[in-house]
Structure 1
């Protein structure tokens, strides 16, 4: 779909305008902006960020560029991607949880991991994991039936469900015994250590910030926990003649097609942590926002329910076209990863502007997906945008990134989210019990500022 077509989708009824944070005042000062970033980076962007093609600002002798045109984004993330790497702040925030997994690795190490992991995430490999997804979703629906007489926290339910899916698809066992500990790790890190401090942005990586000391202690405890999960899975064994039954089998058997090298135990632990955390948390967030939007838009919810119930609960991803469109539109409005930050390794020119070594380049799916030059009614919830037969410009819609570093688990996440949303909305009518709007908060992922209560009614 061209940008012009994306802006000209016919609207047959008044669309829902979901809530979003107020846009920053143009008078917001530098230190005020930096303080606000720790609470909600989304709220630091003003109106011009949603209108202009490229924005350049200076900070401590470096320039920061916000890119909002497909051509400039293609240049940085595809054509000249080797000139750009993760910023020191991103490395400080992500590595204690993800180590040197495929999401954080750079250079030759990243290429080795990407080549080695690729066979585990092909559509055929993901198909073998669908029964795990369906079983965990059905178990969640059974629990929701038991709780449907009172208020329900669907955000918590989605987190528990996607954690269960992560456990079953990774290890072939449920997370009943380990789920609480895993959630504690995620919550501890998200509330205490994942929010970037100004020192995270200005200190060289070799100079530890006060936050880094706490992050190192956290990492020691976290890696011991992941090693325990791996040991438990290994103790369960594997039939040598049987096909792989989960991601752990697939990743353990993976070999770099160029070198034949397998993952070491430490590397495998980082990949396990990456797949569990990146997949579980982002998918739970996307499902929460989808259910929230459908509760605000009952007509769209009923259209999705009709599609879901037409298949009598069968897990047929190909026929869930409207459900997939709702997921796509949800991730446009509330992209799980709201910001991609890169540091320039050398000089470059972007959109006619000179970039120097160590300058920062920002590509924000939050801004891009709501940019007034790229989308018609950019702040409206219109799943029909994704029902036109042609996808949007791939450099204007980045729920999973783009280029060589596009999320390796994108297909897995889309299958999981589409099947789960269809089964849940096919089973329940979802309503909000609260009038106060839920606002997105950008800290690593696009989280809701609170967990609203829902009423669910069996269909």
Structure 2
């Protein structure tokens, strides 16, 4: 894509690129700290890079047609890797993000009605109420140094709680955040045995993850019990995601979710819903603080808008472009890894059973053959008539397993950014470069402080 820009765009900081000749052991040592830092210049220039991962070949795909084949045309031939299952199953169980085959088909069909645009529109009032409260609290901190990453985490967690259960997260929020931090700092990182052993062979970390899962599922079950105790009037329309999920039935079989399945689905939606959106909003605010002119464009677009309905959100074209560009530079899921179930041919390359296919949105979104000025922050590239290839831009994945909550997340992100920047001006107090690192999601290496002023 060729982008014409009047002023020079900002180029936010990134980790140093690894030497292309880095040894396997060297890369292995870096993986647990920052997967993003294991890729060298070749990965940003070449279409397919072949390597080895223990006993099997590995392939990094940067060709949209090859990615389309793996994620869409022949997606049933590719499953999650053992390491990926180990990282996700303790917190998501057998929920939609993990399930395979018939289990996945049942879950997807059953959940789909809860995530239609109409269902999302009914949840916007929950979002706006939390945003009003957040802006009021930030307004009271005018002129002070504020940790906006923490604010975004608390805000999106509150939105997740209210849209899921119709109650606030004042009591439960700190516990949930502690679970997230505990898992991310230690249990959510890949260790050597996690990558080498089959899933059926438990590693020492798997035992620790199993203990974590027992505590975590008990906590989620407590939230569900509290919501059920609040009840629902007979014949009343669904008021939140829990109502929609609890009443959901597979349109083909009429079957709903068991209590255990509901725990996993709720856990998936809360975690995927609040953590990735909080991170995306943090990066958007960071970029806008680095680029005051673009920040003013967002504020100008929101001026005079009510921003309390889906139709209002849809009118925020530039703000949506800022979110799209933020997720290009900082994709929530920086890596999609799949293992081949059987032999295949991908863009002329022979793939054997057990080979690992890596599709890295971090690389794909910054690939020098696919994007003009790939490392620069240029939101207007997403307002161009020359749209990026569908399989060159994967903030929510692609194919049948594309994120079911994408419309919800996009609406929440655009609404939140528009309202926040429409009301407040953000500036960086801390000038230390914020370096992204990849562990589960694309996180900042530290939380910089911002100064807030009222517009």
Matches within 5 A, 1:211-230: 211-230=205-224
The aligned counterpart of 1:246 is 240
> Does the residue aligned with 1:64 lie in a helix, a strand or coil?
strand
RMSD value, Cα = 0.9
The partner residue of 2:197 within 194, 203, 223 is 203
Normalised to the residue count of structure 2, the TM-score between the two structures is 0.98
Partner in structure 1 of residue 418 of structure 2? 422
Give the corresponding residue for 1:447: 443
In 2, the alpha carbon distance for the partners of 1:28 and 1:308 equals: 48
In the TM superposition, what are the counterparts of 1:9-24 in structure 2 within 5 Å? 9-24=3-18
1:411 is the counterpart of 2:407: yes
Instruction: Specify the alignment match of 1:118 in structure 2.
Output: 112
Structure 1 stretch 386-395 or stretch 119-128: which is displaced more?
A: 386-395
How far apart, CA to CA, are the structure 2 residues paired with 1:392 and 1:192? 37
Query: 2:226 corresponds to which residue?
Result: 232
Q: Which residue of 1 aligns with 2:254?
A: 260
Of 227-236 and 18-27, more deviation after overlay is shown by 18-27
Contact (CA 8 Å) 2:53, 2:356: kept in 1 or not? no
Within 5 Å, give how 1:73-112 maps onto structure 2.
73-112=67-106
TM-fit CA distance, 1:152: 0.2
Contact kept in structure 1, 2:307 and 2:313, CA below 8 Å: no
Q: 2: distance between equivalents of 1:260 and 1:291?
A: 44
Match of 2:356 in 1: 360
CA–CA distance in structure 1, aligned partners of residues 304 and 365 of structure 2: 31
Aligned equivalent of 1:4: none
Q: Aligned residue for 1:152?
A: 146
Q: Aligned ranges for residues 282-297 of structure 1 at < 5 Å? A: 282-297=276-291
Query: Hey, what's the Cα distance between the residues in 1 that align with 2:227 and 2:406?
Result: 25
For 1:305, the equivalent position in structure 2 comes to 299
Distance (whole Å) between structure 1 residues aligned to residue 361 and residue 307 of structure 2: 33
The DSSP-based 3-state class of the residue aligned with 2:453 is strand
1:50 is matched with which residue?
44
Q: For each residue in 1:344-397, what CA deviation from the matched residue of structure 2 results, as whole angstroms up to 9, or x when unmatched?
A: 000011121111100000000000000000000000000001112453211000
Structure 1 residue runs of 4 or more that deviate by more than 6 Å after TM superposition:
none
SS in structure 2 at match of 1:310: coil
> How many corresponding residue pairs?
453
Q: Distance in 1 between matches of 2:164 and 2:388?
A: 32
TM-score, normalised with respect to structure 1? 0.98
Distance 1:386 1:192 in 2: 37
Q: Which moved more, 1:129-138 or 1:7-16?
A: 7-16
- 1:113-155 CA distances to partner (integer Å, 9 max, x unpaired)? 0000000000000000000011111111111112223100000
Q: How does 1:340-379 map to 2 (within 5 A)?
A: 340-379=336-375
Aligned-partner SS, 1:149: coil
Shift of 1:313: 4.9
Q: Deviations over 1:315-350 (max 9, x none)?
A: 411211100000000000000110000000000111
Could you tell me how far apart the structure 2 residues matched to 1:387 and 1:215 are? 44
Match of 2:270 among 255, 276, 282: 276
Superposed CA deviations along residues 60-100 of structure 1, whole A, max 9, x for unmatched, are: 22100000000000010000000000000000000000000
